[in-house]
Structure 1
Amino acid sequence: MIKVVVAGAAGRMGQEVLRAVHKSEGMELVGAVDKFQEGVDVGTLIGTGELKVLITTNLEETLVTLKPDVLVDFTTPEIVFNDVKIALKCGVRPVVGTTGMGSAELAEIKELCVKAGVGCIVAPNFAIGALLMIKFAAEAVKYMPHVEIIELHHDKKLDAPSGTAIKTAELISQVRGDFQQGLAAEIEKIPGARGGEFDGGIRIHSIRLPGYVAHQEVIFGGVGQTLTIRHDSISRESFMPGVVLAVQKVMHINSLVYGLENILFE
């Protein structure tokens, strides 16, 4: 039985994770951490009736007391890095869906995993369809190297561009190598009108509006044609099969894995 604590439990993604862990065979929801809703039974949040698992606010105390196997973190970019370090110090395996950590932070997590001898999975996106979108985009760029990315999320998302967009751009850039797109003489009449620029001139455009959950288009342009690869998460339930898979898989690794595709397509 895999014992799981959820950080960011009172948030929308956190509540979905609570439901997913609670109903998954081979897993036991033993704790929940959030700066809001302290003392509330998580069953009240997710509509299952009391589960006798109360929300706490101190992550380290919770991990030391409950001694879980896995911490699932869906918090905020400001605290996720510290959460992961606390978990690894306690010998707990993190599964991280919070985006916003940079390459330096990931490199430090990788070193901490080695020292602690436990695994960690950091995934910009847990939706299986989103991972397929990234995989297909990496294939398409071999033939159509001119590409831009549009990512669309709800207006409560704190970071931009999304981790999924960055992961997509990283993989596209690796596949197409030194290719440089864009017009050198281009002028932005309003700064930022062309979006953020990734390596090789890949433009990433971020849209934040109520009504969206998580969506992305990867648009390729060629002579007389365009190709669009799009993924839509209609609800947060779309991420849960990937979260459950990551919780199961992290028990069998002793290093950092960045991107669920490295497990799904292994």
Structure 2
Amino acid sequence: MTTVCFAGITGWTAPPIAAAIAASDDLELVAGVSRSAAGRDLRDVTGLDVDGWVHGSVVEAVASGGVDVLVDYTSAEAVGANARAAVDAGVHVVIGSSGLTADDYARLDAAARDRNVGVVAAGNFSVMAALLQRAAVLAAQHLEHWEILDYGSDTKPDVPSGTARQLAEALGEVRTPRPAVPVEDLSGPVEARGAEVGGTRVHSVRLPGYVVSTEVVFAAAGEHLVLRHDPGPTPTPYVDGTLLAIRRVPGIVGVVRGLDRLLFGD
């Protein structure tokens, strides 16, 4: 039985994932983390038939003992400290929060290897989002021009999203796209060309009505290929991927980035 602590237990993503954990024969939800619900009974907070408490911090939760895996769906501001606290305590981590950079993950990987624990991080735990990334990586092996559009709600503060950042960095491992006009030669504000992430131009759009949609546009002379993932208004698409990561992370040492790495075995 793998025991799980869910950081962000009162958040938008938590209800269907926590319910799926509680309903699983091989997983057990034993703790939660939420500053607003700290000190309350986990059963009362979630409405699930589970035993345990909600803690005010990850440090407190892992110090209480009995946690095998921390699942983090908190915020860009909190996820780094949460993941490091769990790793330092010898607890495996599944990261569903955005905000960490490639350098952040490199440092976390070193810490995880030192403590002999695993970390699985995905900008998006949707299986369809993972398929988009795999298809985009395949396309980048044959095409030389692309840019990413990253859509999020008007209240989403982190740019780009974790999904878009992870996609850009994965494409950068294949090749750097052929550049358009260099930013230093542009006429007008360079911000109009978006940010460079892993060699790719990424444009973040923040408008009401979006959750996290990701689009990558490939181009060649006379043609375009557009790959896009649009999640619905609920966190249901993230359940299966998160549970897969929880089950797989105890067998990992160091950081594995991307649900596609678990789905496709590389």
Q: Give yes or no for TM over 0.5.
A: yes
Deviation at 1:143, TM superposition (A): 3.1
**Alpha-carbon separation, structure 1, partners of 2:155 and 2:254:** 32
Deviation at 1:102, TM superposition (A): 2.1
Amino acid at match of 1:218: V
Query: In the alignment, what sits opposite 1:207?
Result: 205
**Alpha-carbon separation, structure 2, partners of 1:199 and 1:187:** 24
Query: In the alignment, what sits opposite 1:54?
Result: 53
4+ aligned runs moved over 6 Å, structure 1: none
Residues 161 and 212, structure 2, Cα contact 8 Å, conserved in 1 = no
**Alpha-carbon separation, structure 2, partners of 1:238 and 1:78:** 24
- Pair 95,225 (structure 1): closer, same or farther in 2 beyond 3 Å: same
**Alpha-carbon separation, structure 2, partners of 1:98 and 1:246:** 14
Deviation at 1:47, TM superposition (A): 4.6
> Which has the higher mean CA deviation after the structures are superposed, 144-153 or 55-64?
55-64
SS at match of 1:216: strand
Residues 117 and 254, structure 1, Cα contact 8 Å, conserved in 2 = yes
Deviation at 1:3, TM superposition (A): 0.6
Residues 31 and 66, structure 1, Cα contact 8 Å, conserved in 2 = no
Residues 219 and 228, structure 1, Cα contact 8 Å, conserved in 2 = yes
Residues 41 and 51, structure 1, Cα contact 8 Å, conserved in 2 = no
Query: In the alignment, what sits opposite 1:90?
Result: 89
Query: In the alignment, what sits opposite 1:21?
Result: 21
Query: In the alignment, what sits opposite 1:102?
Result: 101
**Alpha-carbon separation, structure 2, partners of 1:191 and 1:35:** 40
Query: In the alignment, what sits opposite 1:228?
Result: 226
Q: What TM-score does the superposition give when structure 2 sets the normalisation length?
A: 0.90
**Alpha-carbon separation, structure 2, partners of 1:217 and 1:258:** 19
Count the aligned residue pairs.
Answer: 262
Q: What percent of counterpart residues are identical?
A: 33
Q: Deviations over 1:79-124 (max 9, x none)?
A: 2121112112222111111121223322221122122112111222
Q: What TM-score does the superposition give when structure 1 sets the normalisation length?
A: 0.90
Residues 6 and 17, structure 1, Cα contact 8 Å, conserved in 2 = no
**Alpha-carbon separation, structure 1, partners of 2:106 and 2:55:** 29
Can you give the 5+ residue segments of structure 1 that lack an aligned partner in the other structure?
Answer: none
> Which has the higher mean CA deviation after the structures are superposed, 78-87 or 36-45?
36-45
